[in-house]
Amino acid sequence: MRHFFVLFIFGILLAASSCRTDFDTTASSGNLKFSKDTVYLDTVFKNIGSSTYQLKVYNTSKKDISIPVIQLKKGLNSKYRMTVDGMSGNNGKIFNNVTLLAKDSLYIFVETTADITDANPTDFLYTDEIQFDSGANLQKVALVTLIQDAVFLYPQQNPDGTKEKIQIDGKAVDGFYLNETDAVNGNELIFNNTKPYVIYGYAGVPQNKTVTFEAGARVYFHANSGLFVDKNASLKINGAASTSSKLENEVVFRGDRLESLYADIPGQWDAVILADGSTNHTINHLTLKNATIGLSIRNQDATTVQIKNTQIYNCSQYGILAQNARINGENIVINYSGLASLSCIYGGDYNFTHATFYNNWSSSQHFAVHLSNRLAGATPETKDLTKATFNNCIIYGTSTNEFNLDKSANAQFVYQLNNCLLKFSSTNNSPDYQFKNDPVHYNQIILNENPKFYNASKNKFNIDKTSAAFAKGNQAYAIPLDIIGNARTSPPDLGAYQSKDFPK
């Protein structure tokens, strides 16, 4: 019986200790350690929430301590919000009597949503600080965020409470048509470089109108957003060559998450759609990144889309998806696309000169260039590919074969590669891929030799004299200046870049 009595007493003591919710702690002495002394929250647009940033707080002593208060200096008026070890405190601003065990740490997560009016008018920084304790034991960690002003374009609310929509491919999507006499923004059909633009939903260009993007314009698309150029409407992108890596004169299209974490994430927004029947498009010095489809070009029967000095990166499906289109492309670079960097389907007429089509998507099912004269489910299912010409180009990537032909005998399929460096490594006895003995389709092909790009994973496609593409171009096809304005030599290099010293 005595053994049972001892076990009974031990159980009571164990239960009592397990239910205890307080600790014997001492007050913080101001000797906390921090993972950083300043938390820099990346640039955000006004009134758009930031990502969440982390601060770690350490108790290096051998005693359990109680921190009397952890709070934002601006208190309940602060535009920052915190959680402290999963606790929300008083509106995420003030936390009282926070316990931190000996040799332990806690996490603080910080985010913000602020207006440009909250920021310092001279540098547009919004600042605050996290305070730990007070008086002689006060410790601080600074918080800094750059708030960027912008022009916001978005669908309006209808009188019945629904959101404004436009029709794309027979479907109603959240969107609006740009207005050249908008009461707030003025002429929305002209995008300048005074402020960046943030677009929610699809911005539509009305029929018979032209949207113009001036040199240096910056356009940021929210998730599920894009640009739609309607029937008989036109797109004019008038960028210019830049002198620095800031691309100060380029027109830039990208997602609206400015944090460095999102810099290279594909699929953050939808596409630029040049609709069936839209016309007279010119694109010069555009940098487009992080879309689902960069440029979706449909049925340009009447006019040729002119694309020059353009870079398209990190698209989850296609860099350019052309469907029965007409394109003349010069000095184009496309990389990192989930399906194909360039896909020309359902026929069309294409001419590309001094272009670099690369694809380093992680899947082996991608291509740098895909050509087809068919479209499953269409009526008719095939259309003539009247021309697909590639002159002085590089078609390369990390897959075994980066060039793909999908031919139907029911329509024309006319193509030719002249003075191109091509990746096609597998054994293939198809008559369509006879690169060395089919002069109708292939002339002066350099097969499977390394172009030695400066850093393809970072979209730097410059080459030097060690590249297999060096001085291998045909002068008859040469474009006088490369994508960044360098003069080409004779004979020219293949691809969009003329060889020079690598950038620093």
Each residue's pLDDT tens digit, 227-258: 999 999 999 999 999 988 889 999 999 999 88
Respond yes or no on whether the N-terminal peptide bond of residue 451 is cis (omega within 30° of 0).
no
Question: Which of 77-91, 269-283, 303-317, 489-503 shows the lowest per-residue confidence on average (mean pLDDT)?
Answer: 489-503
269/14: higher pLDDT: 269
Q: In the prediction, which pLDDT does 225 show?
A: 97
pLDDT tens string 61-98: 999 999 999 999 999 999 999 999 999 999 999 999 99
Tell me what pLDDT residue 46 has: 85
Does the pLDDT value for residue 22 go beyond 70? no
The rounded percent of the chain whose pLDDT value lies above 90 is: 81
Q: Count other C-beta atoms under 10 Å from residue 70's C-beta.
A: 28
Distance CA 174, CA 381 (A): 30
The answer to whether 352 and 332 are in contact (CB under 8 A) is: yes
Convert the pLDDT of each residue in 458-500 to its tens digit.
999 999 999 999 999 999 999 999 999 999 999 999 999 999 7
Question: Residue 16 pLDDT more than 50?
Answer: no
Which amino acid does the sequence have at 404? N
Q: How many CA atoms lie within 13 A of 310 on its CB side?
A: 25
pLDDT over threshold 90, residue 176: yes
Q: pLDDT: is 44 or 331 the higher one?
A: 331
* pLDDT exceeds cutoff 70 at 20: no
pLDDT at 302: 73
Q: Where are the chain's structural domains?
A: 26-148, 151-477
The angle subtended at Cα 96 by Cα 90 and Cα 101, nearest 5°, is 130
Which residues, in sequence order, are bridge partners of residue 332? 310
Backbone angles phi, psi at 8, to 5 degrees: -65, -45
Is 2.60.40.10 the CATH classification of the domain at 26-148?
no
The average pLDDT across 267-281 equals: 96
pLDDT at 369 over 80: yes
358 CB burial (10 A radius; 0-12, 13-18, 19+) = buried
- In the numeric block, the tokens 């008086």 are attached to 135
Assess whether pLDDT exceeds 50 at residue 433: yes
pLDDT band at 23; cut points 50, 70, 90: low
CA dist 203 to 224, 267, 269, 489, Å? Answer: 11, 18, 12, 42
Output the average pLDDT for the chain. 92
Predicted confidence at residue 158, as pLDDT, reads 84
Q: Calculate Rg over the CA atoms of the chain.
A: 29
Question: Quick check: 6 pLDDT over 70?
Answer: no
Mean pLDDT in residue range 115-137: 91
Q: At 357, list the tokens.
A: 């089509």
Q: Is the pLDDT of residue 17 over 70?
A: no
Q: Indicate the helix (H) or strand (E) that contains 291.
A: strand 291-298
Lowest mean pLDDT among 23-32, 256-265, 342-351: 23-32
pLDDT at 407 over 50: yes
Q: How far apart are CA 295 and CA 405, in angstroms?
A: 21
What does the pLDDT average to over 409-413? Answer: 96
Task: Look at residue 364 and tell me whether its pLDDT is greater than 80.
Answer: no
pLDDT value of position 504:
46
Q: What is the pTM of this model?
A: 0.85
Question: What does the DSSP 8-state code read for residue 470?
Answer: T
pLDDT at res. 501 = 58
Nearest to 70 by CA among 40, 28, 39, 112: 28
What CA–CA distance (Å, rounded) separates 455 from 464?
12
